[in-house]
Structures are given as structure tokens and as C-alpha cells.
Amino acid sequence: MNKFTCRMSSLLLSLLVLFSLPLDIYAEGNTGIEPTISSSDLLYSLAIPSFLAGVAILLIAKLFAYCNKSAYTTFSIPCTMGPSNQNVSYCGTLPKKISSITQHLKNKPLAQKLNIPMPRGILLYGPPGCWKTHLARYIADTVQCPFIALNGADARQTFIGQSEEWIKAVFNTARKAAYKSKSKMAIIFIDEIDALAEERMSIFGSSSNALHVLLTEMDGFHLDTKITIVVIGATNRVEALDEAIMRSGRFDYKIHVKLPKEGVRKAFIEHYMTIYPSNNDITVDSLVELTAGKSPADIKFIFEDAGRNALCQGKAIRDKECFAYAFCAMQRALLKKNIVTKQKQREELLGPYIDGVIRAGICINPQDCYSEINTLSAPEIEYVGQRWLKKLSHNKENDALHAFHEVVDSVRDKKIETCLLKEIQICDILYNKRLERKELANIKGLKTHNIIELYAP
């Protein structure tokens, strides 16, 4: 029998004895009549239930211990042992630091002979969609070592202490994989590392404890010199990272992955044209010109969106019309991206101008103004307020609300005209011809399908 069961049973029995004896003495002293059930009979009748209660308590304690153990120490960490099937060699011109890092990691015996320490951390930062994840995968494939891909948000576990145990499990898995590999090396890739290594505040919490464990695992006293664990982090918010993790010895290399230039965009487009079937009249140079300032993820989306347009029209191949629709849709999405959608922000931007009009003695309902600017961005709202006050100052007899509507309509017409001119420029580049100015007389009434019809042969 377990010691815990014996202790709980003896405790319950002693409690019963203590409670039953005083009741027996009290009954004999007050009534003079012997009780129908003596204390010994009561003790024997409750012995078996007490024993069963002790066993139940033991089982419940064991269950809680098992749940806590499984919650805190059992983690499934995915680890890719072999090279991936993804082709990352078409990424164009790699940053020079990436090439030097891969050479350093591949020539580990020579680096040890020259007494050069192996890098412990590589930080990739830059705009979204610049294929920082693929660069990390490229490093692992070039070095031919195990690769563990994770997300910084995975460290946000439910219970206190789980985040620290998760980080330790990740590094333990990497160490085991490194011992099994020929290179004696493993790479841990943490995407969106700012969710895990965010700058610590004055009041530390569970997230700070997780960061402390990460700092210790990357550069601590218990590091194993026989193997090499390289941590690659990717983030769009490098300014949010803690200073302790940015120092040399943890993230030794900090690489800024910028938007691709013309040559890199050309390499991406040529690769995608081999994957996605496109018409022969689509030139690479025209797509390179149209994708200026676009990320690799944007370029891939344009090809996919053109394929969806071809599918809706029943075409077996992407033509100029499909690409024109894809580019125009992306242009409209960019214009809608900066629209102020929250009423509170619109009130903060336009409120000072409305207060100035009211102080001038002009009665106006602010809600009528806020409802008119629901499709404008913050700079456009500022421009509307300035033009409105300027127009009222020149002619105070004007109706304030009417003047406001005129300014908003002019800004909205200018915005539509800018969008249509950009779409016309897209069609100009794709179809390699120009529309005459007389054909653009009614530009405000043009739509995307009208523009494409004008360019159709």
C-alpha cells in the first residue's frame, strides 16, 4: 500500500475517533441511557469508506501530477533533418553577408583551426514579404544541417512556466538533432521573433522570463562546444527587440533584407513565368517595370491573381488582360489601404477645423462632415480641412456645408483620376502603346474594363 494512502486513511480514522468519543461521553452523561451505536461500532462501520476516500484522494493527486507533467514538459517540436524540396536558388542576388555566413558554416573545421568562433545568431529584418523565411531555409539547405522552423507567438503558452519549458525543449531538440547530423550543427529559425524577444519593461512578467531563458540558451555557461546551434530570427519590427538579444555573441550578424531591385525582380519574374503558364506576348521587361517597389510576395500574388482572372474568363493561359486586371486590383487595394476607417480618428483629424468654423460664428452639424470623409486617408482629410477654412476665409458668405462638400468632391475626383491614370499607365506598359489625350476626355467615367477595351487589338 502506498505511503500516501496509509497516511490519509489514518488521518481520517483519527478524526472519526476524536469526533465519536466526545459524542458518546456526552450522550451517557446527560441521559444515562446507553447509546444504540457505540463509538467502536461507528469506527468499524466507517473504516472501509475512509479507506476508499484515501484511495480516491491518491488517484486525484496522481491525475493532477500527470496533467501538470504533460502540460509542462511534453512538447512536439518539428525538426526537418534533410534538405527541403523548396527551390530557393532563384532568389536573385543574395546579400553578401548571407554568402559569407554560409561559407563560414560549411567550413567549420577550417574555422576551428583558425580559432574563429561559429556564429550563434543571425537576424533578418526588413519589410514584409521579402522572403526572409526562404533565406533561412537557403542557409540550412546549403549547410545541410537539421532545421527547426518556429514562430515567436508559439512561446505564448497558457500556463505560467510553460513558455520557459517550451524554449528549453526547442534547444534540447536542436542539440539531439545536431549530435545525429554529420555537420554537428542545427539551425533554429524563429519567425516574428519580436513576439518573443520584445523589449523588457520595468515590470517583468512571464514573457520576460521566457526572454531570460532564450538569452541563456543562446549565450550561457552551459554551451556545448562539440555542436553548434545557430538561431536565425526574422522580424519586421527590429526597433521593438530587446537590447540584450541584439548584442554581439547572440545575434552576431544583422542583415537588412530590402525590397528587390530591378535585377532581382527580373529573376523572380522569369522563375514565375516558367511555373505559371503565360502568353508569349507578355514581356519580362514590362512586368519588371510595373513591379517597381513590390516585394517578392506581391509579385507572386500578381501571377496568382492573373491566373484567377483567366480561370473566371475560361482561358487556359494568362494574357495581357488578366495581368491588367491583377495590377489594377492591387492599385485599388493600395489606395484603400490608408483610408481612415475609425470614427474617432476622423474626429481627431477634422475636429480642429470644425471647431474653428464654429468659433467663427458659423452653425454647422459636425456629423454631416464626418460622414462625407469616410473614404479618405489621413493626409487627404488634413488637406480637406485646410482648403475648407481657406475657402471660407476668402468668401464668408458661402454656405459652410456646401463649401465643405465642394472641397471633398474635388479631392475624391482627384483621387479617382489618380487611380484611373495609374491604371492607364499599367495598360500603356503592358500593351506597349499610348492613348491619345482626346480619348481621355471623359476620364472620370472610365472603368477598368473600359480601359482594357480601349487597349484591346
- Which run of H or E residues covers position 119? none
pLDDT at 311: 93
Give the torsion through C-alpha atoms of 133, 135, 137, 143, to 10 deg: -150
Q: Is the pTM of this model over 0.95?
A: no
Question: Which residues sit opposite 228 in a β-bridge?
Answer: 185
Q: How far apart are CA 292 and CA 262, in angstroms?
A: 7
Angle in degrees, CA 404, 408, 412, rounded to 5 = 170
Is the CB of residue 206 less than 8 Å from the CB of residue 165?
A: no
Q: What is the pLDDT of residues 346-395, one digit of tens each?
A: 888 888 888 888 887 787 888 888 888 888 888 888 888 888 888 887 76
Query: Under CATH, to which class is 96-256 assigned?
Result: alpha beta
pLDDT at 189: 92
Nearest CA to 131 among 234, 267, 266? 234
Q: How far apart are CA 192 and CA 167, in angstroms?
A: 15
Backbone phi, psi, residue 100, to 5°? -70, -35
Least confident of 65-79, 126-140, 231-245, 280-294: 65-79
- For residue 90, pLDDT over 50 is answered with no
List Cβ neighbours of 273 (8 Å cut-off, separation of 6 or more). Answer: 282, 284
- For residue 445, pLDDT over 80 is answered with no
List Cβ neighbours of 171 (8 Å cut-off, separation of 6 or more). Answer: 188, 217, 229
Q: How far apart are CA 74 and CA 66, in angstroms?
A: 11
Is the CB of residue 340 less than 8 Å from the CB of residue 378?
A: yes
Nearest CA to 98 among 255, 231, 249? 255
The fold for domain 262-337 equals Helicase, Ruva Protein; domain 3 (1.10.8)
List Cβ neighbours of 84 (8 Å cut-off, separation of 6 or more). Answer: 137, 140, 141, 147
**In the chain, where the domains are located:** 3-73, 96-256, 262-337
Q: How far apart are CA 17 and CA 35, in angstroms?
A: 16
Q: What is the pLDDT of residues 104-163, one digit of tens each?
A: 888 888 888 888 888 889 999 999 888 888 888 888 888 888 888 888 887 777 677 778
Angle in degrees, CA 44, 45, 48, rounded to 5 = 85
